[in-house]
Amino acid sequence: MGIEFAKRSFVVAASFGLASALSVVVLGDESGYTITTHQQMKIATIEGMWKTEPAPASFTIFGIPDQKNLKTDYQVTVPWALGLIATRSLDGEVKGIVELVEEGKQRIRSGMIGYGALKNLRSPEAQESSKLTLKQHSKDLGYALLLKQYTDDVISATDSQIDQAAWDTVPRVAPLFWSFRIMVGLGFYFILFFGFAFYVASRGTLLSHPNFLRVAILSLPTPWIAAELGWVVAEYGRQPWTIDGILPTFLSGSGLNSSSVWITLIAFITFYTILAVVDVLLMKKYIKLGPQQALAPKGGKAHAY
């Protein structure tokens, strides 16, 4: 009786799993299209694309990024795929890392002018002209703030400091490159897994595939792995920005000391570890009881399922 209950539950779970896996592909495609406009460096880094390719750009399935020499070795690519995903066109350009760094240098210089105008607002004599200058360069102020790592006098930054700040807009490529590909690989694995699960469960042949059931148990951690890799891509990929193009991460850190951070971290880890242990123990208990005993009214008989 418990087995029949579990089989019906498996059909429901497989249905929702398949629908969710398919929807994630759609949402991922939409996300890729959005970041092409708003976070160009992130998509170039994810792809390990060092130089702008003729449109439509190819998608790299496999490669070994070499950030020191600005290249990706042993590339296996799918022609046109990135251009279609990122721009949804055959003539849309996906900019490479080197070109984006050069743009970054220009934006830093523009931001330096805006930063100077911002400081001059304190002077009544230059207030009107400074307002106009600031308005023209305000969109690049965040790039000027990148120089704060190298000098307190942003307006007088050297070419070398500008170059350093511009290259700071490039995250480490390899972690992003591989995190994205493992995440996407798991996404397609979920479609195949839940598609097969739905097929065998709805046909009533689930128990005829014991190896698949073993794979299902081994696959339990994979959704969490995919989710965490998604966060790596999202958060690590926007570095060095807390707010892209506006606020650098190193300027947005809180004033907490390391002891406070460690205490908070340990408290959260302890709390959620206790919850996880309790959750596993309760699941183990009620799985052993089975639905007939677990759902039976106290002092009464179990309902038939």
pLDDT at 1: 58
Predicted TM-score (pTM) of this structure: 0.85
Asked whether the predicted pLDDT for residue 297 surpasses 90, the reply is: no
CB atoms within 10 A of CB 149: 14
pLDDT digits (tens, 9 = 90+) for 265-287: 999 999 999 999 999 999 888 88
> Given this model, what pLDDT does residue 295 score?
65
What are the structure tokens assigned to 294, written together?
């677990």
pLDDT > 90: percent of the chain: 73
pLDDT at 252 over 60: yes
Q: Residue 125: its pLDDT value, please? A: 73
In sequence order, the 6+-apart residues with CB closer than 8 A to the CB of 126 are: 120
**For range 152-156, the mean pLDDT:** 94
